[in-house]
Structure 1
């Protein structure tokens, strides 16, 4: 029997578009006055970005990643995509010139976020790297996967904190109107975005690894012919408090499976 779905998080201003628009407008203004100020790197205190990149590099070395199309959900200032490109495409196209042209896309529903990401990227663009990064405004819950022009699905989808923010919105609003909760809508969209066999790497500070698996691995999706399964995890230093062991963030990798 699959584990029960976790309790919904209490709504917070961090789950509102207004909060993120205001934050990124401030960071955009700060960057304009001081180009060295590139904005917040989320979960930097846990070194999450570097650990995500290292995890992907290890998958790539094993030959189990094959990521030519990479999508970052809620890209913020674009820091994660730049770090991923630096690791996976440090030599540009390298020996992979005869395969699909790489595509790295960051999306966010905040226009100020995309403006910041584009500005920071322009200031730090490596002219010798043949793999460009692009950014566009796109709403994870309201947008269509088709709008992103990746008809075969994305090889790799990334999330560093976006599911957290979505979960802090009105999680039960859809259920109150006999529709799916935002967490369920999110999972369905990830499945729409991924190609069969594609990887989904997500980092969260609001959900434990067990809770992320409960949200993402769903028997109803399996019955519909496409579902997510856990395919790996990132290890972080743990702490113990009150006899309970935990960690400040967790990162889990899922893979999209399809019925034969």
Structure 2
């Protein structure tokens, strides 16, 4: 890859539309209503991403001020809330908040939380809208902001932003999401659509973050080229 951010483009897909995710979570919610043991899909489970993320959080406690047992976490594109529920079950003490632009997702996650008496909050939010109520209300509120596959879906959107429609969804992402993260806090992004290099270019583009650490995944080799199926990078808010 050249390192030019203009080369980092994904082809638009229905997975980048709100309708797709509303329909998806309405089906998952319906399945849950029939069987409360069916809490839906866990994204990147084949790579043990959730376990890797949680192990990373707990093993790095107190290495920086914002990473401690009482840290306040926001999960972007929370879906069914599975990541936050797992973090809570592992003994996390800080406030846990999940956001998603799909109302169906939020209703589903809330119902799972209520059914299992889990202390996790969920709110609907369009994190790419500077004027979004949740974004405005929670400026620099979170020690940790997690993203497991949400930037991947955002990269599949053909929506345009900016005064003249000159910005893509992935252009907007680091500009709006930074507002949720405390200075010195972390944005941890897990992706299967972007390489580590591409992910770094996208998040570091506007100078609001720096790479802090990366999470290691099994490496494969194909045709003499080494890589992994997914990557996770912890970016520190400057």
Cα displacement (A) at 1:151: 4.5
CA distance in 2, matches of 1:181, 1:84: 32
- Check 1:154–1:245 CA distance in 2 against 1; reply closer, same or farther (3 A cut): same
Which one of 199, 208, 211 corresponds to residue 186 of structure 2?
199
Matches within 5 A, 1:67-146: 68-89=71-92, 92=93, 102-125=94-117, 132-142=119-129, 144=131
The residue aligned with 1:97 is: none
Contact 1:145 1:189 in 2 (8 A): no
Contact 1:154 1:198 in 2 (8 A): yes
Cα displacement (A) at 1:144: 3.7
Matches within 5 A, 1:1-260: 3-5=3-5, 6-60=7-61, 62=63, 64=65, 65-66=67-68, 68-89=71-92, 92=93, 102-125=94-117, 132-142=119-129, 144=131, 147=134, 149-170=137-158, 173-174=160-161, 177-218=164-205, 221-222=206-207, 227-257=208-238
User: What TM-score comes out, normalization by structure 1 length?
Assistant: 0.83
Cα displacement (A) at 1:86: 2.7
CA distance in 2, matches of 1:14, 1:196: 32
- Check 1:178–1:27 CA distance in 2 against 1; reply closer, same or farther (3 A cut): closer
Partner SS for 1:106:
strand
User: What TM-score comes out, normalization by structure 2 length?
Assistant: 0.90
- Check 1:238–1:140 CA distance in 2 against 1; reply closer, same or farther (3 A cut): same
Partner SS for 2:167:
coil
Contact 1:57 1:87 in 2 (8 A): no
Contact 2:129 2:176 in 1 (8 A): no
- Check 1:37–1:109 CA distance in 2 against 1; reply closer, same or farther (3 A cut): same
CA distance in 2, matches of 1:41, 1:55: 18
Cα displacement (A) at 1:143: 5.5
Contact 1:145 1:193 in 2 (8 A): no
* Stretches (4+) displaced over 4 A: none
Cα displacement (A) at 1:239: 1.0
CA distance in 1, matches of 2:110, 2:48: 23
Unaligned runs of 5+ in 1: 93-101, 127-131
The RMSD of aligned alpha carbons is 2.1
Which region of structure 1 is more displaced relative to structure 2, 46-55 or 177-186?
Answer: 177-186
Contact 1:198 1:255 in 2 (8 A): yes
Cα displacement (A) at 1:54: 0.5
Cα displacement (A) at 1:176: 10
CA distance in 2, matches of 1:178, 1:169: 13
Instruction: Give the number of equivalent residue pairs.
Output: 233
Cα displacement (A) at 1:152: 4.1
